Chains A and B, each alone.
Chain A
Amino acid sequence: MAREFKLPDIGEGVHEGEVVKWFVKEGDAVKENDPVVEVMTDKVTVQIPSPVTGKILQLRAKEGEVVKVGSTLVVFGEAGEAVPIRPETAKPIAPPPAPARTEAPPAPSPTGDILAAPAVRRLAKELNVNLAAVRGSGPQGRLSEDDVRKAAHGPARTTVVAPPPAATAAPSGSEQRIPIHGLRKRIFEKMAKSNVTAAHFTYVEEVDMTQLVHLRDHLKPTADRKGVKLTFLPFFVKAILAALVEFPTLNASVDDERGEIVVKGYYNIGIATATDEGLTVTVVHDADKKGLWDLAKEIERLAAAARDKKLSLQDVQGSTFTITSLGKEGGIFATPIINWPEVAILGIHKIEKRPVVRDDQIAIREMMYMSCSFDHRVVDGHVGAAFVQAVRNYLEHPATIFVETG
């Protein structure tokens, strides 16, 4: 018997997900627990395994399409079974928007084909949006004013993404059209939002990491014995936590709708992590309650989970301050984009031996630049500078990281 599989409720606050990739096609045989589809929500990408052993009768969403929690994703059946009646989600993609003014035939609107309230339909007309080509975010694809505005302003999560043209359509090598969906779309939206919302300014400082490099080298054998990969990141987290205690307004976010600054009494440190699909911010929750080894273990676990696409919702939400580490490709300095709605982000660059002047002598020291961006609406220049100096101070004298602040 045909069995409809609906997008399950994958977590708190998630109402829809975008189909990133199908691992199966119609007609394929699947075994229970075989991966069927990769779905990306606002927060996380999950692989959904097959709940049954059987055959894929029908896929009811295209890659790039946004589906609601509770709507049917795929129909399973037994070998030889026919596809059931065509559902609403399998509507063919409508033709692209066309300026339909007076040339339109005087046909009456067919009842129920486009689900949008009269005011929304009028707005669509004003913005020259073809509603048939827009997928609504409401129940049964009901279109909101928001959906129409998003569709009017270029690619948006509610529009059906057109497939890239066939290779024959353009001479190879001239250009490639890549549909923007999945994580890339999240990044599109989030970065643009941050860039137009926060008043960014970036402050760069140089840090002498020599002592910290020695400390880490000294701890290496212990780490190996514990089976923990000890990077510099846990030390940065520690230094930042210590500085945040001194500068609480940097452990904050902006509630732009209510016009309030929300200062957080908890410390969840986000760590920007590169994955094959793009940038993800993993989150070390309650970092202030963890010791160095626990931090190291947690950071390692998050990195592995990101690589293996095993991140849970919890792993990617709730950060209060974010670190972006450029590591070996670190360059000299950068202008990091704030992980909106947070108010600051700290970027760390490569550590390398450089000649510096110490006691009027040229000395070889382990040097590193830090680029820290702030939302100038919240953080005044001298506060941001003082925060970076505090972080620098902790890093240059790593013992102080472990001294109680007070």
Chain B
Amino acid sequence: MDRHVDLVVIGAGPGGYPAAIRAAQLGKRVLLVERDRLGGECLNYGCIPSKALIHTGNLIHAIERAGERGIETGPVKVDLVKLQQWKTSVVQRLVNGVGQLCKGNRVDVLSGHASFMGPNDLEIRKADGSDWVTFTDAIIATGGRPSDLPTFRFDGKRVISTKEALELPRVPQNFAIIGGGVSGLEIGMFYAKLGSRVVVIEIMEQLLPGTDPEAVRVVARNLQKLGVEVHVKSQARGWREDKGQTVVDIVTPEGLIARRADIILVTVGRRPNTDDLHAEVAGVEFGPRGYVKVDRQLRTSNPHVYAIGDVIGPPFLAHKATKEGLTAAEVIAGQPVELDVHAMPAAIFTDPEIATVGLQEAEANGQGRRTRVGRVPFAAIGRALTTGEYDGFVKLIADTDTKVLLGATIVGPDASDLISELTLAIEMGATLADIALTVHPHPTLPEAIMESAEAALGQAIHVLNR
């Protein structure tokens, strides 16, 4: 079947489907092509299932520690199969929701695999043959996929990616994780709570490279409490069979060690999904590491082809893809907009959570910027003590002269929720005084934000000012 559409969006992940819906809202006839499942990696194999599991892991952990508050429980048993079914139902519900939203906004959804055939046409290979589609504009939203290593090739059973790690039917006894980044630690902590013996191997000097070292230390302490073995500045050299067991050889600064592993999770980065797309046929140029090159309006070297999300490069964040998707759709609809984000928040669902936005302390120092830092531990916040979760702190970074908020790091309970206040503050150009003067309800965790602003101004109430 041949047809022409105003806009074809390739990939229905967190970048693609909002782009399709927004363009349809703005009057475009839109075709959304997805080769796998609506919602993409985020909804099906990433953010959503991992959070469903992580939340459950925290619940188990809380039950195990309920004794100190007088709650008597027996040993906690987890039926992982049942847990996976529940998780799948959550995912399915959201996938169905995306389908309904597309339908309700008159976005045509086509299940198939798109390849460019020229600057304004695509072939879409479906289960029952091929469609030929010509388009006025196109958005590449094909995302990325986990990278593996030459010595650790994904086999879906023993050497796995995050996707399989979130679908395991049994809790592995020994779990090796190569890469101590966001996914590695989130999944590692979850399985540690379910009873796995977890070993994390990170090549850089610290876990979560690039994240505030002070915040990472809080998580590292908890990893230790959970019995997770961490090796930084270390490299997994390979794996082998030894007496019916899988063993990973690790080069650590202290020398070569070997660890048993039923499952080896490789989380060392992502690569763009461009292989079968043939975007070069449409005149789309690529950057150094295979990411699609775009300008601030998300336009590629083909003025009618746009690209958004993981396929244009890091940071790999679903909400970044969404923002880019909406912007691209608005540009295509003729609006004079461009990507204009002052503060891109990021959330890490470790225990405790870490969330960051804007300029970080090390970055600011690196730029030679004069900053003022306010830091308040959650241990000073009544609400945190009542929940028993008070590891961590809020840290605000502001300009010394103007007191304008530049960035924030939160490590602690509900950090991922707390960061949005600070993201809004940065986008609105708020100063420390704006935050300090805003009344925050008591007793709540966001009081830590207000207190940090006061601390940066040298007048906190609940911590002593230096």
A interface residues with partner B (beta carbon < 8 Å): 85, 87-88, 101-109, 111-112, 114-118, 121-122, 125-126, 128, 138-140, 142-143
Contact = CB atoms under 8 A, between A and B. Distances in A.
A111 B358 contact: yes
Contact of B428 (A105, A107, A117): A117
Interface string B338-351: 10111100000000
Contacts of B426: 111-112
A309 B343 CA distance: 48
B340 A109 contact: yes
Given A85-B370, A106-B294, A112-B359, A142 B340 contact: no
Contact of A118 (B296, B299, B427): B427
A102 B298 CA distance: 9
Contacts of B343: 111
User: Majority SS of interface residues in chain A?
Assistant: loop
B431 A125 contact: no
23 contacts: A85-B370, A85-B401, A101-B336, A102-B296, A102-B297, A102-B303, A104-B295, A105-B296, A106-B294, A106-B296, A107-B296, A109-B341, A109-B342, A111-B406, A111-B426, A112-B399, A115-B404, A125-B338, A126-B335, A138-B429, A139-B434, A140-B402, A140-B403
B407 interface: yes
Interface of B: 293-297, 299, 303, 335-338, 340-343, 358-359, 370, 399, 401-407, 426-429, 431, 434
Contacts of B406: 111-112
Contacts, number: 74
Contacts of B293: 106
Nearest to B427: A118
Given A104-B338, A116-B429, 14 more contacts: A101-B297, A104-B295, A106-B294, A106-B296, A111-B342, A111-B343, A111-B359, A111-B426, A112-B342, A117-B428, A125-B336, A138-B429, A140-B404, A143-B429
Contacts of B296: 102, 104-107
From B294, B358, B359, B427, residue with most partner A Cβ within 10 Å:
B427
Contacts of A106: 293-296
Contact of B401 (A87, A117, A126): A87
A38 to B, nearest CB: 26
Contact of A125 (B337, B399, B403): B337
Given A109-B341, A118-B340, A140 B429 contact: yes
Contacts of B359: 111-112
Given A112-B406, A138-B429, A140-B402, A121 B340 contact: yes
Nearest to A127: B336
Contacts of A87: 401
B299 to A, nearest CB: 6
Contacts of A112: 342, 358-359, 399, 404-406, 426, 429
A301 to B, nearest CB: 43
A102 B295 CA distance: 7
A117 B430 CA distance: 9
A107 B434 CA distance: 29
B359 to A, nearest CB: 5
A102 B302 CA distance: 12
B82 to A, nearest CB: 44
Contact of A117 (B299, B358, B429): B429
- What 8 pairs between A and B have smallest CB-CB spacing? A115-B429, A140-B402, A142-B429, A117-B428, A88-B402, A112-B406, A111-B358, A104-B296
Contact of A139 (B299, B341, B427, B431): B431
Given A88-B402, A112-B359, A115-B429, A122 B337 contact: yes
Contacts of A104: 295-296, 338
A250 B403 CA distance: 49
A107 B299 CA distance: 14
Contact of B427 (A102, A117, A125, A128): A117
Contact of B431 (A101, A109, A140): A140
A229 B240 CA distance: 110
Contacts of A128: 336
A88 B340 contact: no
A88 B401 CA distance: 7
Contacts of A140: 402-404, 429, 431
B159 to A, nearest CB: 35
Contacts of B403: 140
Contacts of B337: 122, 125
Nearest to A107: B296
Nearest to A143: B429
